[in-house]
Structure formats: structure tokens, C-alpha cells
Amino acid sequence: MKKVSYYAACLLAGVTLFACQNGPKEEPIQEVIERGLNRATEQSLLMAKTLESKEGQLPTSIKNDTLTTSNYSWWCSGFFPGVLWYLYENNPSEELKQYAELYTARVEPAKKITYSHDLGFMLNCSFGNGYRLTKNPHYKEVMEEGARSLATRFNPNVGLIRSWDFSKDKWQYPVIIDNMMNLEFLMEMGKMTGDSTYTQMSISHADKTMENHFRPDYSCYHVVSYDTLTAKPHIKQTHQGYADESAWARGQAWALYGYTMMFREAQKPTYLEQAKHIATYLMNHPRMPEDKVPYWDLDDPKIPNVPRDASAAAIMASALIELSKQCPDAFGKQCLDYAEAQIRSLSSPAYLAEPGTNCDFILMHSTGNLPGNSEVDVPLSYADYYYVEALMRLKHEVKE
């Protein structure tokens, strides 16, 4: 009787006896990818329609269960247009293209900004993806002006692009690890315009960051401030992490992505070695959760009772897929397998929002700035962007 009940229980659960004994069969990764892209498309179209009549507005996050937005001047302004361009690339419908063009146009005034290092995020994610897919000559013109604006933040004596202009009583010339992400824009503009100045700036910034931002274990500081006379660091600390010597999760992900990208663009072997060291540090970290979605800071002493950061996992996954292509060996396979596991986690009900929920963002459970009590355990536009980018990269890998 007990045996019959056992079989009946298995059948009622919709599985075979084998599955009951050995666990459910893993969903094919192709199905995970398509499910993620379909959900991303559904949510993003809902978001696009919600904000269509709100002139100049772009999504950022949620506060008090309400959608928060910004205009072009916020560093996150380019991410939602970038999501739409990736989704259009995946499914070239006229509706997706029109919305991608609409929200990209809202970012255009950023091309004149000289007070921010984040023009790469703003313009490359939006206009860069748009130009890649449409070759619209106006998009190129916008990017060229934006690159000239960003280049004004490079100090030849220091050899780096300045990140922030605030807290001048504390920092002489602050450079944050996030700034590695904006180098892709300048590297692309170097190729597009033939102006090697952009390439040289990017390489100088990457070299000096590699020299001064990293600890012996290849974790990195968030902020390094340089003495403008000696061009040497005078402060190394955090601004958004748990402590100056802790491993703020998203910062480590920025570093991994940045050096993987710089190797692809500059083909300097030192960049590949740096990316591999950072990847090894992250993939083998003893406090990485089983689902491979990092805690907001890997050194928070309250782990596991602390927020996760889905954005860090999405950035990591996208970078690891790219890195796997640069390492056609066992290490590359390890990177790809790890990224696939992260994509499976992010595409599960634990992180992937149900249709029409989450204020139409795609992913849940990211952390922006916990010490500042800002954007904690909420969706973030850049989490969505790198998740969709990772899905697209993985889709190409599976096809190949």
C-alpha cells in the first residue's frame, strides 16, 4: 500500500519514479534563455507604454512600491533604451524598434555632459547599440560629441578619467572601479573615428587602475583618490560597500567585466590575466551563495541575513560568457558553466518578475547603495540591462 501511495504521489506531482528518486530534469538552457527573453520583452513593452506619455522620463527603480524615473542626466539613463535595442535584436519587430528609438532620443542631451564619467553607460548602451543595429548616422554624431565631452575628464598627468567632482575636501582626484565600464565607449569611438587619443586614454586608465585598485587576492577597492601632483594614490576606500577593505559585490563585477572587455578591445595579455584572476576570485569565493547571486558585499559580517544583488550576478554572467570566448580551454568552460548557473538562478521565480509586477522591471532583488539606504532590495535598470545582454550572449554561444 505504501508503494502504491509512493507511485501515486510521484504521478500527482507530474514526475516519473526516476525523477522522484533522482530529482527533476534540468530545464534545457535554450528554454531558459527564451523564457528570459520573452519575459524581458513582455515587461519592457509594458514599461515603455507606461512611460510613453511622460516626456523625457526613463526608468530607474522602485521606491515605496512606486516606479521612480529620471531624465537623461542620471547615470542610468541609457540602460532602458539599451534593453529595448537588445530585445529588438532578438526579435526585430517594428514596435520594439519604435520604442527603442523613442527612449534613445530621450538620452541625447547627455552628449554635452562634462560633469560625469558615466557617458559610456548613458550613450554606449543606448546610442551605441542603436548604431550597431541600424547604422543611423545621427547616432554616430551623438556618440562623437559625447566622446569629446567624456575626454575632458581625463587628466594626462594622473593618467585617469576622473569619476566624481564632489567631496573635494576628502578626495583630490577620485576614480571608482565602475569607471572601467565607460572605457568601452571610448575604445569603440577610437575605432569609429580613427582618433587613437580615445584608445590611449582607455589603456592608460585601465593600466593605472590595475596597478592601484587591486589587493593581492584580486578583490578591488571601490574608490582610489590620486594626488594630482604626484599621480599616486593618497586614499583607498569604499563609498557603497561595507568597509574600505571589503569586497563590494558589484564593484568586483565591474572589474571583471571591465578587464574582459579591455582585453577584447586592446588585446593586451595583461588584461586577460587580470580578468582571469578576478573571475577565479569570484567563482571560488567562500561566501558566494549556492545560487551564485552575490550578497551585496561579500564581507558583510551579517551574511547570510543581508540583501542580495541581482545586478552583480547579471554583470558577472555577461562578463563570464565573454571571458569564456577568450579562453577556449577548461577555464573558459568553467566560466561558461558558472554564467549559465547564474542565468538559471536569475531566470527562476526567485528573481524573475511575474508579468505585470515589479513596476514592469525584469529582475527583482538588486541593491544600489546599502550604506546610503538607497535602492535596497529593489529592481534596477542596469540589472535588467546586463541580464538581457547576458541572455543574448549566451544565446549566441548556444547557437555556435
pLDDT of residue 398: 84
33 contacts 343 by C-beta, under 8 angstroms: yes
C-alpha closest to that of 363 among 350, 372, 374, 375: 350
Per the annotation, the verdict on 178 as an active-site residue is yes
The values of phi and psi at residue 219, to 5°, are -75, 165
Q: How far from 37 is each of 124, 200, 366, CA to CA, in Å?
A: 21, 37, 19
pTM of the full structure: 0.94
pLDDT of residue 400: 67
Q: Residue 384: enclosing H or E segment and its boundaries?
A: helix 381-399
127 contacts 80 by C-beta, under 8 angstroms: no
Instruction: Given the residues 65, 169, 178, 377, select the one marked as catalytic.
Output: 178
pLDDT of residue 25: 86
Low-confidence ranges of the chain (pLDDT < 50): 1-21
Q: Is 61 helix (H, G, I), strand (E, B) or coil?
A: strand
Q: Residue 373: enclosing H or E segment and its boundaries?
A: none
Instruction: Given the residues 65, 118, 165, 300, select the one marked as catalytic.
Output: 118
Q: What are the structural domains of the chain?
A: 30-70+266-400 (1.50.10.10)
Q: Is 201 helix (H, G, I), strand (E, B) or coil?
A: helix
Cα 159 to chain centroid distance, Å, stands at: 25
Rounded to whole angstroms, the Cα distance separating 103 from 55 reads 10
C-alpha closest to that of 280 among 223, 225, 331, 232: 331
The values of phi and psi at residue 359, to 5°, are 50, 30
pLDDT of residue 232: 98
Per the annotation, the verdict on 217 as an active-site residue is no
